A and B are shown apart, each in its own frame.
Chain A
Amino acid sequence: MITVNNLSKSFGRKEVLHSVNLRLDAKVYGLLGANGAGKTTLIRCMAGLYEPQQGEVLYHNEPIHKSKSFHQDLGYLPQAFGMFRELTLYEMMEYICSLKGIPRSKCTSEITKALTSVNLEDKAGDRIKTLSGGMVRRAGIAQAILGDPKVILLDEPTAGLDPSERARFKNTVSELKQDRMILISTHIVEDVDACCNSVIVIDEGRVLFNGSCEELRNIALNKVYNINEADSDRITGEKFILKVSEMEGKIYHRILAKEKQAYESEKPTLEDGYMCLVKGIV
């Protein structure tokens, strides 16, 4: 569906993306990376907002800026999202319908569907300025999914959402994922775990991993140890303390170790796999 070929993007002297290659099909992708890793730049390049210095983004094998259907098929939620505060949510959605070229006859049903998906149907008549930050974020998701787009790019969609809203978001993604390519950029690993079929890990503008969640988890297989603080020094080889926790008055370290240790390894999580990648413990 979307192919990213040898994509490089710089801002001044700073190269933010280095020859990124990706092929994305009708699945839900999680784009994981630390702050400043290049997630937003990549997503903006894919949305056609940035022009890369090198490489291209293809939609159905056609460069996006030449594609006639790309903009029609794209739903995009930026990292920072807002709307005319003076309009009601419904008016704003109508505004977006108009911009997206959704036929007037379909507008009402599309808006209702999108707002129901994000649980904002009862706020349709409220002015944007009366909505909370989380609601505006959800309205942003509604804006992105309005018109049934085939490609949905969501940049940090769960930022600012409370746990119940995040759960709701997962359901929304589940409902949407049929025949669509959804790319969710986040640094919250749990969100990816809950919603995505595939994960792309990006660090310092380079793609470190592109595969399934299971594959990412497996990277940390036999590398995760939960051991007593006192035993921490006995870990041999390259290691990384992932988490420090307290249980029954004792302090435990969750450690990623490159070499096989004498202790019993833990079942890895997606975060473990991600950290192994990022910290070079592979």
Chain B
Amino acid sequence: MDKRLSRKMLISLMMIMLISVLATSAYAASQTVYINKGDGPVQSASISATNGANYNGWNYSDSEHKLYITLQWSTGSGWVDERVSLMDIGSSASGYSTLSGTRLWRVQLNPQYAYSDCHGKGTVSNR
């Protein structure tokens, strides 16, 4: 009985943790995602913003190819590309969207030509 109770508690705790992690990630002011060699396209966790979002990206010098950074917002069951930049090796990109309304935002890093030899970083933050 005790065992069952503790299992239930454990599950509840995990659920609470999961929900809080999700909620914190959605309501965090910024989110960062890293792309390492061997990775295909990667996306950051999403943030919630009402006045659009800023994004910054870096394609490090040890990348072998250019890197796309895309600022996306959620349509509920899909993502729309709001801003796209192509970052040369060793360069950065930044931009913002003024799209209003409460939305979830994220950044995606996507190596050019479907390579997986890029090293970089992308950040999405509230405006």
Do A and B share a direct contact in the complex (Cβ within 8 angstroms)?
no
